[in-house]
Amino acid sequence: MKITISEVAVKAGVSIKTVSRVINNEIGVRSATKDKVQAAMDELNYRPSQAARSLASTQSFQVGFIYDNPNAYYIIDMQNGILNVCRKQNYELLIHPCDAKSANIIDEVLFLIKRSNLDGLVLTPPLSENQQLIFELQKRNVKFVRVISGKGMVEDAAHCVYLNDRAAAFSVTQYLIDLGHKDIAFICGDPEHKSSPERFEGYQQALRQNNIKIEPNFLIDGEYSFESGVNGAKQLLSLKKRPTAIFGSNDEIAAGALFACRLDGIDIPTEISIVGFENSPFSRQTLPKLTTADQPTESVAIAATQLLINQIKNIPTNTVIEFNPELLVRESTTNFNG
């Protein structure tokens, strides 16, 4: 026979509402009361149901992760980080992939929230950068946290986790310059992701600060994919004056560029140094392994989810958390003495 919340309350000698407050990790419950209720649940082998958790509460204890990102490794790390917090806080997670470029994306998100009675959302790029979507969520008092890369977007963010991609890209480019490289190419990612112009701007700032002319032929439009890195590198290798270093806007691009160079018989890193961004498994699966910017995606997800649940529970907390991806040097880069 299934144990009920009423039986737990009787066993612990407290009210049903008190049991519900303990289950929901609400603040203001005395430690002695929590211990008494937990002991009763353990003795009765009670497992809270969603109905019991929602008792005396308007919450569903369910949050959503809505994403549109072609990088499977990024999605897995985000899911793991969100689940890490949800399990500790006794929340359920609904995962919803979508097409951020869809004309009906806002209606899709709003319908999902209503249908699933979500308490809040974790939004990642490019959805987190959709200003119209943010406006509609705010208008309906929907709780959400944004993971964003655009520095200019922090000022208007009520709750966000900010990745300083620009500063990280500056550091990666400066590292190449310190190795003696001046002819540094850049293969960009998808333009709808704010991380793309942010990383590009960091690259440009480093060149300008070191009085290095930006070569237009070294700037390649692309998208966050291995194939884009292959095609971009082929375009660069066809130039009369080749770059001595290539900065891929993420590790997939960089891995593709490395692959194309090896097919062309170019030794990495003695002839061309290659760097990526994010420290995804792609950066560790190449030969040689890629120098990159270490983006702690799982830690970002943990911080974002805790920020969201604090917001749901009305717990005062910082509204903006900043992460700075750090340079991680591996074997794909070396000194250039040309």
Tens of pLDDT, residues 78-106: 999 999 999 988 889 999 999 988 889 99
**pLDDT value at residue 1:** 63
- Are residues 219 and 252 in contact, defined by beta-carbon separation less than 8 angstroms? no
Residues 221 and 186 sit within 8 Å (Cβ to Cβ): no
What's the confidence (pLDDT) of residue 56? 46
Of 297, 317, 312, give the one whose Cα is nearest residue 62: 312
Residue 185 β-bridge partners: 246
Distance CA 235, CA 291 (A): 22
Positions of CATH 3.40.50.2300 in the chain: 62-164+296-325, 165-294
Q: Which CATH number fits the domain 5-54, given the four candidates 2.60.120.10, 1.10.260.40, 1.10.357.10, 1.10.1740.10?
A: 1.10.260.40
Topology at the third CATH level for domain 62-164+296-325? Rossmann fold (3.40.50)
Give pLDDT tens digits for 264-278.
Answer: 999 999 999 999 999
Among the listed residues 199, 188, 204, the one whose alpha carbon sits nearest the alpha carbon of residue 166: 199
Q: What DSSP designation does 126 have?
A: T
3-state secondary structure of 250: coil
Q: Where in the chain is the domain with CATH 1.10.260.40?
A: 5-54
- Cα 302 to chain centroid distance, Å, stands at 10
Taking the domain 165-294, which CATH number applies? 3.40.50.2300
Single-letter amino acid, residue 64: G
Encoded tokens for 137: 């969520």
> What pLDDT score was predicted for residue 152?
55
What is the predicted pLDDT for the residue at 155? 52
- Print pLDDT tens along the chain (338 aa): 677 888 888 888 888 778 877 877 666 788 888 888 888 888 888 877 655 555 445 567 889 999 987 778 889 999 999 999 999 888 899 999 999 888 899 999 999 998 888 999 999 988 998 889 999 999 999 999 999 987 655 555 568 899 999 999 999 999 999 999 999 999 999 888 889 999 999 999 999 999 999 999 999 999 999 999 999 999 999 999 999 999 999 999 999 999 999 999 999 999 999 999 999 998 999 999 999 999 999 999 999 999 999 999 888 777 788 999 999 999 999 999 86
Q: What is the pLDDT of residue 294?
A: 96
Quote the pLDDT of residue 49: 63
DSSP of 148-164: E--GGGSTT-SSEEEE-
Q: Rounded CA gap, 87 and 94, in Å?
A: 13
The DSSP letter of residue 96 is E
Q: d(Cα 224, Cα 227) in Å, to the nearest integer?
A: 9
Sequence-distant (≥ 6) Cβ neighbours of residue 150 within 8 angstroms: 129, 194, 197, 198
Q: Are 86 and 60 in contact (CB under 8 A)?
A: no
